[in-house]
Structure 1
Amino acid sequence: MKHKATEEILNGEIVLSVDEIVIKFNLRGKELTAIRGASLDLHKGESLAIVGESGSGKSVFTKSFMGLLDSNGRIESGTIMYKGDNLAKFKTEDDWIKIRGKEIAMVFQDPMTSLNPLKTIGKQVQESIELHQNLKGEEAKKLAIDILSDVGISDSEKRFKQYPHEFSGGMRQRVVIAIAVACNPNILICDEPTTALDVTIQAQILQLLKNLQKKYDLTIIYITHDLGVVANVADRIAVMYAGDIIELGTADEVFFDPKHPYTWALLSSLPQLGIKGEPLYSIKGTPPNLFKEIVGDAFAPRNPKALKIDFVKRPPYFEVTPTHKARTWLLDPRSPKIEPPAMILKMREMDEKWGVSNE
């Protein structure tokens, strides 16, 4: 698996820095802690994938960068630093208007609910340009047509006048991406951008995002529950579980030398690793109840190889390499040596077979 020079990225500018962020929601008179002290630095020009099961906090975490939390949610503590501003302190729409779209834009997973069915797609792209790029009328229209061409919509002048229902699912997703890119953002968050699409269209959309990243100098965050989807596009991978980032490393490190038992389980669940005639691996148990305080390692109750300390004390981050760290007591020098599952060892052999490349 070949990726962009990660060292070059990590020595570059940090565009967004999240430190010990805690996000809570009030639901039916109870308090739910959705994000539990997560920290992350995002580097200019990188593609970072945030992966984890549904409900692990991926979308909530990134929505907090844009002030898109539901009305019953709040940032309890921690900081989100962007261009000298602490976004965690923003309260009003006036605060967010200078960030949302113009600085940080999002591509949502369901293009049909992201588009206005009563407006032509061209007008929707043009509105983004007029709002965020100080262009008007014919000038904005011309740029909108160019951006529609950039996202792979042929005959874009004609398509400019059409409505969302005249487009296929894959084409609608391209329009949603065009609207986000039209804001001219620094950071583009892609929330499950290929979930509703078939496999061949998924590959096209991911390749399109890679091309746009180069052309528009974007820093991209991919949110997904499927590690296989981001194998070809991510420079780094952050693994989330129960509202915390439990492992962070380059794509190669997370795929071929994972350290956290949850990462082992996620990788073992990949259909690509299945053996014909044998049942696919599945992670036993269910994620923890976030209404209750979590003691120790949140994954411990589902981890057959959990240590006693996993049920008592939350592990700190242990550094594996300067680019790779994980929250697991297995990395403590005092820990017994536990080998990863056979499936993880098989990953190294799969590298050549998959032919995954990021060139």
Structure 2
Amino acid sequence: MMEVTQTKSPILTIHNLVIKFTLRGRVLTAIRNISLDLYKGESLAIVGESGSGKSVLMKSIMGLLDKNGYIDQGQIIYNDRDLAQFKTEQEWLSIRGKEVAMVTQDPMTSLNPLKTIGKQIEECVILHQNLKGKVAYEETLKLLKDVGIYDVEKRYKQYPHEFSGGMRQRIVIAIALACKPKILICDEPTTALDVTIQAQILQLLKDLQQKYGLTTVYITHDLGVVAKVADRIAVMYAGDVIEIGKTHEIFFNGKHPYTWALLSSLPQLGSKGEQLYSIKGTPPNLFQEIKGDAFAPRNQYALKIDFVERPPFFQVSDTHYARTWLLDPLAPKVEPPEALQAFFEEGRRYAHES
């Protein structure tokens, strides 16, 4: 298992996790032998293309896999309990909400259109905090204020369709907080919002993490979204974590060619009048066994061994690991793309000056 030096202790540990789905008589391996520690009080971003397994990984922590999905092997250790061994809904209800809560990307599908938003939040307060009557009502108003909603007595009585997309997302966050969770998973929480509102919601989540002492996980396909809110970043590809490190290490010293490709896709690295960079090819078919590095067929820097043997994690620093044969001492020296080299240099210079 990959060891990462941290001053804080893990609040949750994933060890050699494999998750599969059955579909029309075939088996798809969505998570391929992942090991990962989540540290108490940190903000971890999990990034990767659609279909890389980000949401599946996090749903497995809450027992929310689709009926055709199952944990084939591995452990998910939380409070000395192996969540991978849970079989009943009753077991999951001891974790879901009160220990681990989720903020989804589409608040309209999370909210009941026939109930006022106040009642929806208050239901969670009553269920998870054992409060009743006026005390539950006052706690609900407090939560509305904490997520940045004004005139809370009036808003309490309104329905979801009376709110904008950004305001609905704040309500969903309030519902999650009402459960008093230790871990808050934010699954693409800003996807449907414009850039200005995105920034507001991310800052809100960052502030709430401090206020409530949360451990936060962001799931996103956009590295740029989490640049200012994540302490660490785990990069996923084809059901595997291929690089993990502190945010500045991934942004300014990324080592895996897939990480380079994601960074190259950032709009700020584009040149005026030229098309934005896009990763050529398509992700592998997860119905088939993957040999070697899953990114190899799309990787212009691939070595022969990439098509044969899965690379181990190579240590870059005490907190930074990358699963690429390019870090093997015997590998030829390969530099990142030219545009990224300037970006890396600028970032390292800024970090040094700070």
Please identify, of 285-294 and 334-343, the stretch whose mean Cα deviation from structure 2 is larger: 334-343
Instruction: Spell out the pairing of 1:79-228 with structure 2 (5 A cutoff).
Output: 79-228=75-224
Instruction: Spell out the pairing of 1:277-288 with structure 2 (5 A cutoff).
Output: 277-288=273-284
1:157 is aligned with what amino acid?
E
Residue 157 of structure 1 deviates from its aligned partner by: 1.2
2:196 is aligned with what amino acid?
T
Q: Which runs of 5+ in 1 are unaligned?
A: 1-6
3-state SS, counterpart of residue 61 of structure 2? coil
CA spacing shift, 1:122–1:350, aligned 2, 3 Å? farther
Residue in 1 aligned with 2:298?
302
1:62-103 superposed Cα distances (whole Å, 9 cap, x missing partner): 000000000000000000000010000001101101100000
Residue in 2 aligned with 1:63?
59
Residue in 1 aligned with 2:310?
314
3-state SS, counterpart of residue 26 of structure 1? strand
Aligned partners of 1:32 and 1:256: how far apart in 2? 34
* Kept in 1: contact 2:252–2:348 (CA 8 A): no
3-state SS, counterpart of residue 11 of structure 2? strand
Residue 343 of structure 1 deviates from its aligned partner by: 2.3
3-state SS, counterpart of residue 340 of structure 1? coil
Residue in 2 aligned with 1:43?
39
Residue in 1 aligned with 2:340?
344
Aligned partners of 1:274 and 1:10: how far apart in 2? 35
3-state SS, counterpart of residue 347 of structure 1? helix
1:137-189 superposed Cα distances (whole Å, 9 cap, x missing partner): 21111001000000000111110110000000000000000000110000000
1:13-38 superposed Cα distances (whole Å, 9 cap, x missing partner): 21000001000000111000000001
For normalisation by structure 1, the TM-score amounts to 0.95
Aligned partners of 1:15 and 1:335: how far apart in 2? 36
Residue 347 of structure 1 deviates from its aligned partner by: 1.9
Matched, 1:32 2:31: no
Q: Which runs of 5+ in 2 are unaligned?
A: none
Aligned partners of 1:352 and 1:310: how far apart in 2? 29
3-state SS, counterpart of residue 230 of structure 2? coil
Aligned partners of 1:125 and 1:344: how far apart in 2? 45
Aligned partners of 1:351 and 1:134: how far apart in 2? 48
Cα RMSD (Å): 1.6
1:113-135 superposed Cα distances (whole Å, 9 cap, x missing partner): 00000000001111111111111
Instruction: Spell out the pairing of 1:223-238 with structure 2 (5 A cutoff).
Output: 223-238=219-234
Instruction: Spell out the pairing of 1:235-314 with structure 2 (5 A cutoff).
Output: 235-314=231-310
**Among 46, 49, 52, which residue is 1:53 paired with?**
49
3-state SS, counterpart of residue 77 of structure 1? strand
Residue 352 of structure 1 deviates from its aligned partner by: 9.7
CA spacing shift, 1:192–1:74, aligned 2, 3 Å? same
Displacement over 6 Å in runs of 4+:
none
State the identity %. Answer: 70
1:26 is aligned with what amino acid?
T
1:250 is aligned with what amino acid?
K
Aligned partners of 1:163 and 1:345: how far apart in 2? 50
Residue 351 of structure 1 deviates from its aligned partner by: 4.1
